[in-house]
Structure 1
Protein backbone atom coordinates (compact mmCIF):
# COMPACT_ATOMS: atom_id res chain seq x y z
CA UNK A 1 0.00 0.00 0.00
CA UNK A 2 1.39 3.41 -0.90
CA UNK A 3 1.24 6.10 1.73
CA UNK A 4 -1.29 8.05 -0.31
CA UNK A 5 -3.74 5.22 0.37
CA UNK A 6 -3.51 6.06 4.05
CA UNK A 7 -4.24 9.66 3.29
CA UNK A 8 -7.23 8.77 1.12
CA UNK A 9 -8.90 7.52 4.29
CA UNK A 10 -8.58 10.99 5.78
CA UNK A 11 -10.02 13.18 3.05
CA UNK A 12 -12.40 14.78 5.50
CA UNK A 13 -9.47 16.81 6.75
CA UNK A 14 -9.32 19.76 4.34
CA UNK A 15 -5.70 20.65 5.04
CA UNK A 16 -4.31 17.17 4.59
CA UNK A 17 -1.82 17.04 1.73
CA UNK A 18 -0.89 14.07 -0.41
CA UNK A 19 2.26 12.24 0.58
CA UNK A 20 3.27 12.03 -3.05
CA UNK A 21 5.88 14.57 -4.19
CA UNK A 22 4.75 17.98 -5.29
CA UNK A 23 4.20 18.37 -9.04
CA UNK A 24 6.69 21.20 -9.30
CA UNK A 25 10.06 19.71 -8.40
CA UNK A 26 13.66 20.54 -9.31
CA UNK A 27 14.91 18.89 -12.47
CA UNK A 28 17.08 16.43 -10.54
CA UNK A 29 14.47 15.59 -7.89
CA UNK A 30 13.91 12.08 -9.21
CA UNK A 31 17.59 11.33 -9.68
CA UNK A 32 19.12 8.98 -7.10
CA UNK A 33 20.82 10.81 -4.25
CA UNK A 34 24.61 10.44 -3.95
CA UNK A 35 26.03 7.66 -1.82
CA UNK A 36 26.65 8.74 1.77
CA UNK A 37 30.23 9.65 2.66
CA UNK A 38 31.91 7.45 5.25
CA UNK A 39 34.36 9.45 7.40
CA UNK A 40 37.39 7.65 8.80
CA UNK A 41 36.49 5.76 11.94
CA UNK A 42 32.76 5.87 11.19
CA UNK A 43 30.47 2.86 11.33
CA UNK A 44 27.58 2.09 8.99
CA UNK A 45 24.38 0.16 9.61
CA UNK A 46 21.28 -0.07 7.43
CA UNK A 47 17.84 -0.21 9.02
CA UNK A 48 14.34 -0.91 7.71
CA UNK A 49 11.46 0.12 9.95
CA UNK A 50 8.56 1.07 7.72
CA UNK A 51 8.50 4.45 6.03
CA UNK A 52 12.03 5.66 5.47
CA UNK A 53 10.91 9.27 5.89
CA UNK A 54 10.16 8.49 9.56
CA UNK A 55 13.45 6.79 10.37
CA UNK A 56 15.57 9.32 8.53
CA UNK A 57 13.85 12.22 10.33
CA UNK A 58 14.66 10.69 13.72
CA UNK A 59 18.25 9.63 13.07
CA UNK A 60 19.16 13.02 11.64
CA UNK A 61 18.50 14.40 15.13
CA UNK A 62 20.84 12.12 17.05
CA UNK A 63 24.20 13.46 18.15
CA UNK A 64 27.00 11.41 16.67
CA UNK A 65 25.17 10.54 13.45
CA UNK A 66 27.04 11.81 10.40
CA UNK A 67 24.27 11.02 7.91
CA UNK A 68 20.99 9.18 7.50
CA UNK A 69 20.22 8.43 3.86
CA UNK A 70 16.91 7.02 2.65
CA UNK A 71 17.19 4.21 0.13
CA UNK A 72 16.49 0.62 -0.82
CA UNK A 73 18.12 -2.69 0.10
CA UNK A 74 17.35 -6.39 0.13
CA UNK A 75 15.84 -6.82 -3.32
CA UNK A 76 16.74 -8.37 -6.64
CA UNK A 77 16.58 -5.47 -9.10
CA UNK A 78 19.47 -3.11 -9.73
CA UNK A 79 18.81 0.60 -9.41
CA UNK A 80 15.14 0.33 -8.42
CA UNK A 81 12.88 3.37 -8.49
CA UNK A 82 10.47 4.34 -5.73
CA UNK A 83 7.53 3.30 -7.88
CA UNK A 84 9.04 -0.13 -8.53
CA UNK A 85 9.77 -0.68 -4.85
CA UNK A 86 6.26 0.44 -3.92
CA UNK A 87 4.59 -2.16 -6.14
CA UNK A 88 6.40 -4.86 -4.15
CA UNK A 89 7.90 -6.64 -7.15
CA UNK A 90 11.60 -5.88 -6.50
CA UNK A 91 11.86 -7.34 -3.01
CA UNK A 92 13.54 -4.23 -1.61
CA UNK A 93 12.82 -2.73 1.76
CA UNK A 94 12.69 0.99 2.36
CA UNK A 95 15.74 1.56 4.53
CA UNK A 96 17.89 4.27 6.01
CA UNK A 97 21.65 3.86 5.90
CA UNK A 98 23.02 5.37 9.09
CA UNK A 99 26.64 6.50 9.24
CA UNK A 100 27.69 7.32 12.79
CA UNK A 101 30.63 8.00 15.07
CA UNK A 102 30.82 5.02 17.46
CA UNK A 103 32.75 7.18 19.93
CA UNK A 104 29.73 9.47 20.29
CA UNK A 105 26.82 7.08 19.78
CA UNK A 106 27.36 3.36 20.31
CA UNK A 107 25.94 0.71 17.99
CA UNK A 108 23.92 -0.51 20.99
CA UNK A 109 22.29 2.92 21.29
CA UNK A 110 21.58 3.03 17.55
CA UNK A 111 19.67 -0.24 17.89
CA UNK A 112 17.85 0.97 21.01
CA UNK A 113 16.50 3.89 18.98
CA UNK A 114 15.62 1.49 16.17
CA UNK A 115 13.36 -0.61 18.42
CA UNK A 116 11.77 2.53 19.86
CA UNK A 117 11.02 4.02 16.45
CA UNK A 118 8.66 1.34 15.17
CA UNK A 119 6.64 -1.76 15.96
CA UNK A 120 8.88 -4.73 15.08
CA UNK A 121 6.10 -7.25 15.73
CA UNK A 122 3.96 -6.46 12.68
CA UNK A 123 4.99 -8.42 9.60
CA UNK A 124 5.42 -6.25 6.49
CA UNK A 125 3.42 -3.43 8.05
CA UNK A 126 3.81 -0.22 9.98
CA UNK A 127 0.45 1.33 10.74
CA UNK A 128 -1.44 1.72 7.47
CA UNK A 129 1.73 1.28 5.40
CA UNK A 130 1.70 -2.34 4.26
CA UNK A 131 3.83 -4.43 1.93
CA UNK A 132 7.19 -6.16 2.03
CA UNK A 133 8.90 -2.82 1.37
CA UNK A 134 7.87 -1.76 4.89
CA UNK A 135 9.31 -4.79 6.66
CA UNK A 136 11.35 -4.49 9.82
CA UNK A 137 14.98 -5.32 9.08
CA UNK A 138 18.51 -4.87 10.32
CA UNK A 139 21.09 -5.15 7.55
CA UNK A 140 24.41 -5.68 9.30
CA UNK A 141 27.73 -4.62 7.77
CA UNK A 142 30.09 -6.58 10.03
CA UNK A 143 30.05 -9.83 11.95
CA UNK A 144 30.18 -7.80 15.17
CA UNK A 145 27.01 -5.98 14.12
CA UNK A 146 25.31 -9.29 13.42
CA UNK A 147 26.10 -10.58 16.90
CA UNK A 148 25.00 -7.29 18.43
CA UNK A 149 21.77 -7.20 16.41
CA UNK A 150 20.82 -10.72 17.46
CA UNK A 151 21.47 -9.93 21.13
CA UNK A 152 19.62 -6.63 20.87
CA UNK A 153 16.61 -8.32 19.28
CA UNK A 154 16.51 -10.89 22.05
CA UNK A 155 16.69 -8.19 24.72
CA UNK A 156 14.08 -6.01 23.01
CA UNK A 157 11.54 -8.84 23.02
CA UNK A 158 10.88 -8.13 26.71
CA UNK A 159 9.29 -4.82 25.65
CA UNK A 160 6.78 -6.39 23.27
CA UNK A 161 3.87 -8.74 23.88
CA UNK A 162 3.97 -10.24 20.39
CA UNK A 163 7.01 -11.91 18.82
CA UNK A 164 9.48 -9.63 17.05
CA UNK A 165 9.58 -10.44 13.33
CA UNK A 166 12.56 -8.25 12.40
CA UNK A 167 14.87 -9.92 9.91
CA UNK A 168 18.62 -9.73 10.50
CA UNK A 169 20.40 -9.97 7.17
CA UNK A 170 23.86 -9.22 5.80
CA UNK A 171 23.88 -5.88 4.02
CA UNK A 172 23.71 -6.02 0.25
CA UNK A 173 23.86 -3.23 -2.30
CA UNK A 174 22.44 0.02 -1.02
CA UNK A 175 20.58 2.14 -3.55
CA UNK A 176 20.02 5.72 -2.37
CA UNK A 177 16.45 6.84 -2.95
CA UNK A 178 15.58 9.72 -5.21
CA UNK A 179 16.63 13.21 -4.15
CA UNK A 180 13.10 14.27 -3.22
CA UNK A 181 12.97 11.58 -0.53
CA UNK A 182 16.06 12.87 1.27
CA UNK A 183 15.39 15.11 4.27
CA UNK A 184 11.72 14.71 3.36
CA UNK A 185 10.17 15.52 6.71
CA UNK A 186 12.13 18.71 7.27
CA UNK A 187 11.33 19.90 3.74
CA UNK A 188 7.63 19.01 3.93
CA UNK A 189 6.46 19.51 7.51
CA UNK A 190 3.01 20.71 6.40
CA UNK A 191 2.43 17.50 4.41
CA UNK A 192 -0.42 15.43 5.85
CA UNK A 193 1.62 12.25 6.28
CA UNK A 194 4.42 14.17 7.97
CA UNK A 195 2.00 15.83 10.40
CA UNK A 196 -0.05 12.76 11.22
CA UNK A 197 2.55 9.98 11.19
CA UNK A 198 6.09 11.32 11.50
CA UNK A 199 5.54 14.23 13.85
CA UNK A 200 3.91 12.09 16.58
CA UNK A 201 6.86 9.67 16.43
CA UNK A 202 9.31 12.52 16.95
CA UNK A 203 7.26 13.97 19.79
CA UNK A 204 7.11 10.59 21.49
CA UNK A 205 10.90 10.40 21.37
CA UNK A 206 11.26 14.08 22.30
CA UNK A 207 12.87 14.84 18.94
CA UNK A 208 10.32 17.39 17.72
CA UNK A 209 12.33 20.54 18.54
Structure 2
Protein backbone atom coordinates (compact mmCIF):
# COMPACT_ATOMS: atom_id res chain seq x y z
CA UNK A 1 0.00 0.00 0.00
CA UNK A 2 2.83 2.38 0.76
CA UNK A 3 4.27 2.39 -2.82
CA UNK A 4 0.78 3.20 -4.11
CA UNK A 5 0.51 6.17 -1.75
CA UNK A 6 3.95 7.42 -2.81
CA UNK A 7 3.00 7.14 -6.49
CA UNK A 8 -0.24 9.04 -5.87
CA UNK A 9 1.61 11.78 -3.97
CA UNK A 10 4.21 12.07 -6.75
CA UNK A 11 1.47 12.32 -9.38
CA UNK A 12 -0.25 15.04 -7.36
CA UNK A 13 2.97 17.05 -7.04
CA UNK A 14 3.70 16.67 -10.75
CA UNK A 15 0.19 17.78 -11.69
CA UNK A 16 0.29 20.82 -9.43
CA UNK A 17 3.73 21.85 -10.74
CA UNK A 18 2.48 21.94 -14.35
CA UNK A 19 1.77 25.49 -15.51
CA UNK A 20 -1.90 26.29 -15.67
CA UNK A 21 -3.33 27.11 -19.06
CA UNK A 22 -4.28 30.79 -19.25
CA UNK A 23 -7.96 31.40 -18.70
CA UNK A 24 -9.88 32.48 -21.75
CA UNK A 25 -11.70 35.80 -21.61
CA UNK A 26 -14.70 37.25 -23.41
CA UNK A 27 -15.51 40.63 -24.89
CA UNK A 28 -18.64 41.88 -26.63
CA UNK A 29 -18.71 44.21 -29.63
CA UNK A 30 -21.57 45.60 -31.73
CA UNK A 31 -20.46 46.59 -35.20
CA UNK A 32 -23.51 46.49 -37.43
CA UNK A 33 -24.46 43.20 -39.05
CA UNK A 34 -23.25 40.46 -36.75
CA UNK A 35 -22.36 38.22 -39.72
CA UNK A 36 -19.57 40.62 -40.71
CA UNK A 37 -18.34 41.23 -37.17
CA UNK A 38 -18.24 37.50 -36.46
CA UNK A 39 -16.35 36.89 -39.72
CA UNK A 40 -13.61 39.45 -39.10
CA UNK A 41 -13.10 38.42 -35.47
CA UNK A 42 -12.84 34.73 -36.41
CA UNK A 43 -9.92 35.71 -38.65
CA UNK A 44 -8.05 37.41 -35.78
CA UNK A 45 -5.21 35.35 -34.27
CA UNK A 46 -5.82 34.76 -30.57
CA UNK A 47 -9.60 34.63 -30.99
CA UNK A 48 -10.91 31.21 -30.04
CA UNK A 49 -14.56 31.73 -30.92
CA UNK A 50 -16.99 34.43 -32.07
CA UNK A 51 -20.73 34.08 -31.48
CA UNK A 52 -23.41 36.26 -33.08
CA UNK A 53 -26.14 37.56 -30.80
CA UNK A 54 -27.83 40.50 -29.12
CA UNK A 55 -26.73 42.83 -26.31
CA UNK A 56 -27.68 46.06 -24.65
CA UNK A 57 -31.44 45.71 -24.41
CA UNK A 58 -33.78 44.62 -21.66
CA UNK A 59 -35.95 42.13 -23.57
CA UNK A 60 -35.20 38.58 -22.42
CA UNK A 61 -34.57 35.89 -25.03
CA UNK A 62 -34.49 38.25 -28.02
CA UNK A 63 -34.82 36.88 -31.54
CA UNK A 64 -33.92 38.29 -34.93
CA UNK A 65 -37.55 39.26 -35.46
CA UNK A 66 -37.94 40.70 -31.93
CA UNK A 67 -34.97 42.38 -30.28
CA UNK A 68 -36.06 45.93 -29.35
CA UNK A 69 -33.36 47.87 -27.53
CA UNK A 70 -30.70 45.28 -28.37
CA UNK A 71 -27.82 45.76 -30.77
CA UNK A 72 -26.64 43.00 -33.07
CA UNK A 73 -23.44 42.02 -31.29
CA UNK A 74 -20.71 39.40 -31.21
CA UNK A 75 -19.28 37.75 -28.12
CA UNK A 76 -15.58 37.13 -28.69
CA UNK A 77 -13.77 34.48 -26.65
CA UNK A 78 -10.03 35.08 -26.76
CA UNK A 79 -6.76 33.87 -25.31
CA UNK A 80 -5.15 36.82 -23.47
CA UNK A 81 -1.75 35.15 -23.82
CA UNK A 82 -2.07 35.65 -27.61
CA UNK A 83 -4.07 38.87 -27.97
CA UNK A 84 -4.80 41.62 -25.48
CA UNK A 85 -8.12 43.31 -24.85
CA UNK A 86 -6.61 46.58 -26.15
CA UNK A 87 -5.57 44.86 -29.38
CA UNK A 88 -9.10 43.47 -29.83
CA UNK A 89 -10.69 46.89 -29.28
CA UNK A 90 -8.29 48.47 -31.78
CA UNK A 91 -8.95 45.65 -34.27
CA UNK A 92 -12.70 46.17 -33.86
CA UNK A 93 -12.53 49.91 -34.51
CA UNK A 94 -10.42 49.36 -37.63
CA UNK A 95 -13.01 46.96 -39.10
CA UNK A 96 -16.05 49.24 -38.77
CA UNK A 97 -16.95 52.81 -39.69
CA UNK A 98 -16.88 54.33 -36.19
CA UNK A 99 -18.20 57.66 -37.50
CA UNK A 100 -21.50 56.24 -38.85
CA UNK A 101 -24.37 57.44 -36.65
CA UNK A 102 -27.13 55.73 -38.68
CA UNK A 103 -26.04 52.14 -38.12
CA UNK A 104 -23.24 50.54 -40.04
CA UNK A 105 -22.59 51.05 -43.75
CA UNK A 106 -25.65 49.49 -45.49
CA UNK A 107 -27.49 48.37 -42.35
CA UNK A 108 -29.39 51.27 -40.82
CA UNK A 109 -31.35 51.57 -37.62
CA UNK A 110 -30.86 51.36 -33.87
CA UNK A 111 -29.96 47.66 -33.76
CA UNK A 112 -27.02 48.21 -36.12
CA UNK A 113 -25.34 50.97 -34.12
CA UNK A 114 -21.82 50.32 -32.86
CA UNK A 115 -20.63 49.81 -29.30
CA UNK A 116 -17.94 48.28 -27.15
CA UNK A 117 -19.51 46.59 -24.12
CA UNK A 118 -17.18 46.75 -21.12
CA UNK A 119 -17.24 44.54 -18.06
CA UNK A 120 -14.80 46.34 -15.77
CA UNK A 121 -13.28 49.77 -15.07
CA UNK A 122 -10.05 48.60 -16.73
CA UNK A 123 -11.89 47.57 -19.91
CA UNK A 124 -13.70 50.94 -19.90
CA UNK A 125 -10.36 52.78 -19.56
CA UNK A 126 -8.88 50.81 -22.47
CA UNK A 127 -11.95 51.17 -24.69
CA UNK A 128 -12.19 54.93 -24.07
CA UNK A 129 -8.46 55.33 -24.74
CA UNK A 130 -8.67 53.45 -28.05
CA UNK A 131 -11.83 55.38 -28.96
CA UNK A 132 -9.93 58.64 -28.41
CA UNK A 133 -7.00 57.43 -30.53
CA UNK A 134 -9.41 56.51 -33.33
CA UNK A 135 -11.05 59.96 -33.21
CA UNK A 136 -7.59 61.56 -33.45
CA UNK A 137 -6.55 59.23 -36.28
CA UNK A 138 -9.70 59.94 -38.30
CA UNK A 139 -9.89 63.60 -37.23
CA UNK A 140 -13.64 63.05 -36.84
CA UNK A 141 -16.15 62.45 -34.06
CA UNK A 142 -16.61 58.78 -33.17
CA UNK A 143 -20.22 57.57 -32.92
CA UNK A 144 -19.27 54.20 -31.39
CA UNK A 145 -20.26 54.18 -27.74
CA UNK A 146 -18.56 52.50 -24.79
CA UNK A 147 -21.36 50.85 -22.80
CA UNK A 148 -21.63 48.75 -19.68
CA UNK A 149 -21.81 45.04 -20.38
CA UNK A 150 -25.22 43.43 -20.17
CA UNK A 151 -26.55 39.95 -20.79
CA UNK A 152 -25.39 38.60 -24.11
CA UNK A 153 -28.02 36.50 -25.88
CA UNK A 154 -26.77 34.17 -28.67
CA UNK A 155 -28.63 34.54 -31.96
CA UNK A 156 -30.47 31.73 -33.66
CA UNK A 157 -28.37 28.84 -35.03
CA UNK A 158 -28.84 29.90 -38.66
CA UNK A 159 -26.94 33.15 -37.93
CA UNK A 160 -23.90 31.42 -36.40
CA UNK A 161 -20.87 31.15 -38.72
CA UNK A 162 -23.07 32.49 -41.51
CA UNK A 163 -20.21 33.66 -43.74
CA UNK A 164 -18.37 30.33 -43.46
CA UNK A 165 -21.46 28.12 -43.89
CA UNK A 166 -23.05 30.23 -46.65
CA UNK A 167 -20.14 31.73 -48.60
CA UNK A 168 -22.16 32.58 -51.72
CA UNK A 169 -24.97 34.23 -49.75
CA UNK A 170 -22.51 36.17 -47.60
CA UNK A 171 -20.51 37.27 -50.66
CA UNK A 172 -23.74 38.53 -52.26
CA UNK A 173 -24.65 40.44 -49.07
CA UNK A 174 -21.14 41.89 -48.76
CA UNK A 175 -21.09 42.99 -52.41
CA UNK A 176 -24.53 44.62 -52.20
CA UNK A 177 -23.62 46.25 -48.90
CA UNK A 178 -20.30 47.62 -50.12
CA UNK A 179 -18.66 47.09 -46.73
CA UNK A 180 -15.11 46.65 -48.06
CA UNK A 181 -15.41 49.76 -50.25
CA UNK A 182 -16.88 51.80 -47.37
CA UNK A 183 -14.17 50.72 -44.94
CA UNK A 184 -11.48 51.56 -47.46
CA UNK A 185 -13.00 55.05 -47.79
CA UNK A 186 -12.86 55.47 -43.98
CA UNK A 187 -9.51 53.84 -43.24
CA UNK A 188 -7.60 53.91 -46.53
CA UNK A 189 -5.46 50.79 -46.33
CA UNK A 190 -5.27 50.82 -42.54
CA UNK A 191 -8.17 48.45 -41.73
TM range (shorter): 0.7 to 0.9
| 8 Å Cα contact 2:63/2:155 also seen in 1 | yes
- Cα shift at 1:60: 0.6
Report the TM-score, using the length of structure 2 for normalisation. Answer: 0.78
| 8 Å Cα contact 1:124/1:133 also seen in 2 | no
- Cα shift at 1:53: 0.5
* Matches of 2:178 and 2:101, distance apart in 1: 20
Alignment of 1:34-73 (within 5 A): 41-73=23-55
- 1:170 matched to 2:148? The reply is yes
Alignment of 1:39-188 (within 5 A): 41-85=23-67, 90-188=68-166
* Matches of 2:89 and 2:166, distance apart in 1: 27
* Matches of 2:31 and 2:109, distance apart in 1: 12
| Runs of 4+ displaced beyond 2 Å | 194-201, 203-206
* Matches of 2:33 and 2:128, distance apart in 1: 23
- Whichever of the two has the greater Rg, that structure is 2
Spell out, residue by residue over 1:109-131, the C-alpha distance to the aligned partner (whole angstroms, 9 max, x if none): 10111111111111132122111
Which of 1 and 2 has higher RCO (CA within 8 Å, sep 6+)? Answer: 1
- Indicate the structure with greater helix content: 2
- State the SS of the aligned residue for 2:28: strand
* Matches of 2:178 and 2:127, distance apart in 1: 25
Question: What stretches of structure 1 of length at least 5 have no aligned partner?
Answer: 1-38
Question: What stretches of structure 2 of length at least 5 have no aligned partner?
Answer: 1-20
Report the RMSD for the aligned CA atoms in angstroms: 2.2
| 8 Å Cα contact 1:188/1:194 also seen in 2 | no
Q: How many residues align?
A: 163
Report the TM-score, using the length of structure 1 for normalisation. Answer: 0.72
